[in-house]
């Protein structure tokens, strides 16, 4: 006699997953595997148009792990500590507009999608040196600031470019400190802005720029200390007045207008001779102009009387 | 305690008369613009980020006279109770 004995792991026929769901899941997994295999396709899926790497700016160092760059951040509107990435996720990056205004022939307001489609995107692997003596190497995606300026046509009287970060009190706890001179403002000369290294960043590691890294649009001049790079920009203004930046208003003796990297000029409270690489913790010598002297040293001819290094 | 409480209450009155409802943070910023940035960095980087956002920042956002008034009031009350008991 054949006896059917139920085992604990036996399931009734009614518990079986329908065939359509099983095959749908397999198709979804196959699609996911295909996207992982094709980097550019994945980037396109994430909203960032594909961008070729510009090899002219080889950093001479290994790229920092993405996880380090996206979890160790300075963004004062979200706090003074390095783990602001979770809080920054509350910042909505769409819709997003940036005004380019002031001393230009054709002031404009761009939607971020408009910028992504209009501008000549490329990837550049730049070193970034923080004034706090740590450093990283990041594959940024973006476009030269000069390309944007060419569209708005600066007037000949424009001497400076000013960058302003968004002020979103509902998601930025730092703005509760009403005594600070918000919005976060930074600036550079029109000559520095026109330098080929000056880069408007919309992505990193082949993906759209994350909020904690200054998404959807930030600025980067790799020969200057990192605080000069305005994040989450909403206004770019051309002017004939030298701007007084956010940190300059608070602690001018520590954070000046020029802030070019120089290992021989210490910060008032620490040396700038070495930098700690994010991720590896390796300590390496800091280079003058963060190693970009061949591109930018000429900008400062005749400016020896300025405080160029802090 | 008997002395510190009334001194803090007098300080609170002086701050109220001198600065009205100006936040404590704004007052400290005027005295030393770099002080609060340093305090925040030490608190959030070496102690606990929430300690700044949820405890110290509300105190700094409040009118400058409130902190010494509350502290002075508590100390004065404790001193009075101690003297009675």
The answer to whether residue B26 neighbours chain A at the CB level (below 8 Å) is yes
Confidence check: pLDDT of A175 > 90: yes
Cα distances (Å, whole numbers) of residue A200 to A60, A102, A144, A220, A275: 22, 19, 6, 6, 25
Instruction: Decide: A131 and A267 in contact? Cβ < 8 Å.
Output: yes
Phi, psi of A277 (to 5 degrees): -75, 130
Q: Which residues of chain B have pLDDT under 50?
A: none
Tell me which residues of chain A, numbers 137 to 176, contact chain B at a CB-CB cutoff of 8 Å.
Answer: 173, 176
How many Å apart are CA B47 and CA A24, to the nearest integer?
49
How many Å apart are CA A266 and CA A146, to the nearest integer?
32
- Expressed as residue numbers, the domain containing A112 is 48-300
Per-residue confidence (pLDDT) for residue A303, from 0 to 100: 96
Q: Do the domain assignments include residue A3?
A: no
A204 Cβ contact list (under 8 Å, min separation 6): A66, A69, A70, A138, A139, A140, A141, A210, A213
Q: Do the domain assignments include residue A190?
A: yes
E-strand ranges in A209-298 read 218-220, 233-239, 274-277, 283-285
Interface test with chain B among A77, A179, A252, by most B beta carbons within 10 Å:
A179
Q: Do the domain assignments include residue A20?
A: no
The mean pLDDT value for A39-54 works out to: 68
Q: Between A81, A82, A176, which is nearest B57 by CB?
A: A176
Interface test with chain B among A81, A178, A251, by most B beta carbons within 10 Å:
A81
Contact yes or no for A177 and B36 at CB 8 A:
yes
Q: Do the domain assignments include residue A126?
A: yes
Question: pTM value?
Answer: 0.84
Kindly state the percentage of chain A with pLDDT values over 70: 85
- Structural domains counted in chain A: 1
How many Å apart are CA B66 and CA B77, to the nearest integer?
16
CATH value at residue A96: 3.90.420.10
The complex's ipTM works out to 0.86
pLDDT in tens, A202-213: 999 999 999 999
């Amino acid at each position: 006699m054949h006896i059917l004995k139920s085992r604990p792991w036996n399931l009734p026929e009614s518990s079986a997953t329908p065939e359509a769901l099983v095959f749908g899941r397999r198709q979804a997994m196959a699609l996911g595997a295909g996207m992982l295999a094709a980097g550019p396709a994945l980037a396109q899926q994430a909203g960032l148009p594909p961008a070729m790497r510009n090899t002219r700016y080889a950093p001479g160092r290994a790229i920092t792990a993405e996880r380090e760059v996206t979890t160790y951040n300075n963004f004062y509107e979200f706090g003074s500590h390095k783990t602001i990435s979770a809080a920054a996720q509350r910042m909505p990056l769409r819709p997003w507009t940036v005004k380019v205004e002031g001393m230009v022939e054709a002031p404009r307001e761009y939607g971020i999608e408009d910028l992504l489609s209009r501008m000549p995107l490329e990837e550049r692997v730049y070193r970034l040196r923080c004034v706090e003596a740590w450093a990283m190497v990041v594959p940024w995606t973006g476009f030269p600031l000069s390309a944007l300026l060419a569209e708005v046509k600066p007037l000949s009287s424009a001497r400076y470019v000013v960058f302003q970060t968004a002020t979103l009190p509902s998601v930025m706890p730092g703005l509760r400190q009403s005594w600070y001179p918000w919005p976060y403002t930074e600036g550079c000369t029109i000559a520095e802005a026109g330098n080929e290294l000056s880069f408007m960043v919309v992505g990193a590691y082949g993906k759209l720029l994350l909020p904690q890294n200054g998404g959807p649009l930030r600025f980067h001049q790799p020969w200057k200390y990192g605080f000069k790079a305005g994040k989450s920009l909403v206004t770019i203004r051309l002017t004939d007045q030298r701007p007084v930046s956010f940190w300059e208003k608070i602690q001018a003796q520590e954070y000046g207008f020029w802030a070019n990297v120089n290992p021989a000029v210490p910060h008032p409270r620490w040396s700038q001779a070495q930098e700690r690489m994010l991720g590896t913790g390796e300590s390496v010598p800091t280079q003058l102009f963060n190693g970009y002297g061949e591109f930018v040293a000429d900008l400062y001819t005749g400016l020896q009387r300025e405080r160029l290094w802090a | 305690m008997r002395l510190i409480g009334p001194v803090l209450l007098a300080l609170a009155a002086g701050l109220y008369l001198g600065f009205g409802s100006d936040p404590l943070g704004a007052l400290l910023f005027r005295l030393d613009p770099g002080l609060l940035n340093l305090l925040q960095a030490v608190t959030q980087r070496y102690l606990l980020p929430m300690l700044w956002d949820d405890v110290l920042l509300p105190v700094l956002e409040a009118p400058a006279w409130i902190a010494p008034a509350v502290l002075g009031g508590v100390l004065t009350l404790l001193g009075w109770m101690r003297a009675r008991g």
